[in-house]
Amino acid sequence: MSQHAMTNRLQGDLPKIGIRPVIDGRRGGIRESLEEPTMNMAKACARFLSENLRHSNGLPVECVIADTTIGGVAEAARTAEKFRKEGVGLTITVTPSWCYPLETIDTDPLQPKAIWGFNGTERPGAVYLASAMGAHNQKGLPAFSIYGKDVQDIGDSTIPADVQAKLLQFAKAGLAVATMRGKSYLAMGTVSMGIAGCIVDETFFQEYLGMRNEYVDMSEFVRRMEREIYDKDEYARALAWTKENCRIGADVNPPELTRTAEQKEQDWETVVKMTLIARDLMIGNPKLADMGFEEEAMGHNAIAAGFQGQRAWTDHFPNGDFMEAILTSSFDWNGIREPYMLATENDNLNAVTMLFGHLLTDSAQIFADVRTYWSPEAVKRVTGQELTGAAAGGVIHLINSGPAALDGTGEQLLNGQPAMKPFWDITEQEAKACLDATLWCPAVDFFRGGGYSTDFTTRGGMPMTMARINLIKGVGPVLQIAEGYSVELPPEVHDTLDQRSNPTWPTTWFVPNLTGEGAFKDVYSVMNHWGSNHCAVSYGHVGAGLITLASMLRIPVCMHNVPDEQVFRPTVWTAFGVNEPTGADYRACAALGPIYR
């Protein structure tokens, strides 16, 4: 495999973080004494973020500091203009002192914003922070408050650990907001098998995410295959790589429905072409222009996409499983690279959830059906064995109907433990291990057109976050979050349970962290409260980041098991009810409305 490819494959510059050093504007010794510590605070903040953040494509995150400290409205305006020219997508205001809030706050309604008020006694940075937050809340410009727990000395340029954590949580979510803005969701086909999540709600994309919607009919795949609108050299290389690296699994079809060796060979050729075409549809391909296809070369600037597949396509053509699994993985025949967010069955709501997870973690995402809750009693009845350990209270069977990112095997390692890592941290050996842990099984009989499905079982012990956006009439989008762990079942138990669903599809056995109440009373309750047949799964416990991102987009969270101390939202949320945080979240989102309305 080639070296890790770090490139911005979408149109538009990458968003930057704007750092606003705000100062007490009174001259005669007050402002003058604060210039150096205020600007040093800004520099320390910028340095910390630049050293600890990357965009999901691996490129470094740039910070832009105001040319001067901001003591009044004129300097605030000059800074806003500089940030506009520099492509700043979110701002962090820093100050160790009192300042004039109405004259110095960031008033851009589209940019996520935070204020770090220095906890010091020499100058009241905390007083400015509280006053500025009051101004933001009164004006309907929600902002995040960052205030360290421990008092520091004026001029101390170190950033305490608790402040660091909040800076990173805010910045990563803010970058996600700015990155999505102006990009596209590409629907390849339309509604699959009557699944409501496939209905593309343009109002949701436009008003909540700031995204465009693009559409192509699945017949575009046929046109490009028949007219050879793809890079033929890359196709030859891709097909050779596939035959060398993709292990064939069992064909479980009855003899009368088993495809011939010639048909299976043709299926490989078709699914590899489909993969190239889907990628070209999403981001374009300059090679197509060299072939005389200038329009097709442009692509749709799609940061996420979905393929309808079932059944209009799969009743006649090979399924999209190989295409979806390879594109959503962090590697292919071109080497190790950023995964694409491509949803099975054009479930655009799951695609958006995958996109959220990817932008927050920089890693691949697992698309899964929330298929079955297996209680300990049911497992004992069916297998004769008892569930033990983390699985003792039952498990949720996450198994997509065909594909999943190969990163989901858990064959990548972090500190010796199974993981799903940002692509720039994945070694060639780990990519090969993911491929070796996967079988490609000839599609089962209800995929009448053939194809190959992804068969693997996720290794246990991985911290994971299962999430899903649903659209609710009268409310709008809502987000569900369940942090937990992957678990491994004894081989004979896994085989028995897997055979009852489909042994040719990818399986993740998931156990959520329980709180003993509400939707997280037990494993069954999590399954019973889930709002759709699909979910997106991220590596790590990233629910706190999802909550922060959701608050920026004004999407309420209807269920989560994130510890209270990790929840970080704009301060105005407390005004909607401290003692009832879920209801307050709904009320705040409703009062503020979508960010792009």
Active site residues: 345, 369
CA distance 417 to 95: 41
CA distance 524 to 520: 8
**Contact by Cβ (8 Å): 421, 481:** no
Closest CA to 22 of 87, 75, 64, 63: 75
**Contact by Cβ (8 Å): 185, 212:** yes
DSSP classification of residue 557: E
- What the block records as the tokens of 30 is 């007050």
What is the number of residues in the chain? 597
| Exposure of 310 in the CB half-sphere (CA atoms within 13 A) | 18
DSSP classification of residue 192: -
CA distance 192 to 172: 33
What letter represents residue 278's amino acid? A
Closest CA to 378 of 529, 518, 488, 500: 500
Which run of H or E residues covers position 468?
Answer: strand 463-472
Q: How far is CA 267 from CA 100, 145, 314, in A?
A: 67, 55, 12
DSSP classification of residue 569: -
Following DSSP, what letter does each residue of 314-363 receive, concatenated? Answer: TTTS--SHHHHHHHHSSEETTEEBPPP-EEETT-HHHHHHHHHHHHHHSS
Following DSSP, what letter does each residue of 30-75 receive, concatenated? Answer: HHHHHHHHHHHHHHHHHHHHHHH-B-TTSPBPPEEE-SS-B-SHHH
Helices (runs of H) and strands (runs of E) counted in the chain: 19, 23
H helices of 418-542, in order, are 428-436, 491-499, 523-529
Asked if residue 560 belongs to a known ligand binding site, the reply is no
**Contact by Cβ (8 Å): 512, 466:** yes
Instruction: Determine whether 517 is exposed, middle or buried from the number of CB atoms within 10 Å of its CB (0-12, 13-18, 19+).
Output: exposed
H helices of 53-160, in order, are 73-86, 101-104, 125-139
**Contact by Cβ (8 Å): 167, 117:** no
CA distance 569 to 170: 9
Q: What is the CA radius of gyration of the chain?
A: 25
Asked if residue 345 belongs to a known ligand binding site, the reply is yes
Indicate the annotated binding residues for Mn(2+). Answer: 345, 369, 534
Indicate the annotated binding residues. Answer: 345, 369, 534
